[in-house]
Homo-oligomer: A and B are copies of this chain.
């Protein structure tokens, strides 16, 4: 339970941009070259390059160069920590609700006992 998890911050930050999510979505369909990734965004190449390096530093993609073409590929397993963190919050919250539930149940039972002791004839 690290208080500051830089990996998670990098991950979420990488996914927090619409352009980068579009790039990831495109790469989910298959590897692509930098130019092919840039075209649908309508942005200039250097700008796209920067997005790509953010994605790569977050571990969400890998890339390799063959000749003058750099091919990028998604690494879907890199999203797992993000998914897991979200899941854990849900789990903690659910556990708390369970405790609340049990608490309420106990209160209701005790209340029933009290009523029974003080006379159930009403």
Contacts and interface: CB of A to CB of B under 8 A. Distances in A.
Contacts of A25: 89, 92
A30 B76 contact: no
Interface of A: 3-6, 8-9, 11-13, 15-18, 21-22, 24-25, 28-30, 74, 76, 79, 82-83, 85-87, 89-90, 92-93, 96
Nearest to A30: B96
B85 A21 contact: yes
A11 B28 CA distance: 21
A5 B18 contact: yes
Contact of A8 (B21, B30, B92, B96): B21
A5 B85 CA distance: 21
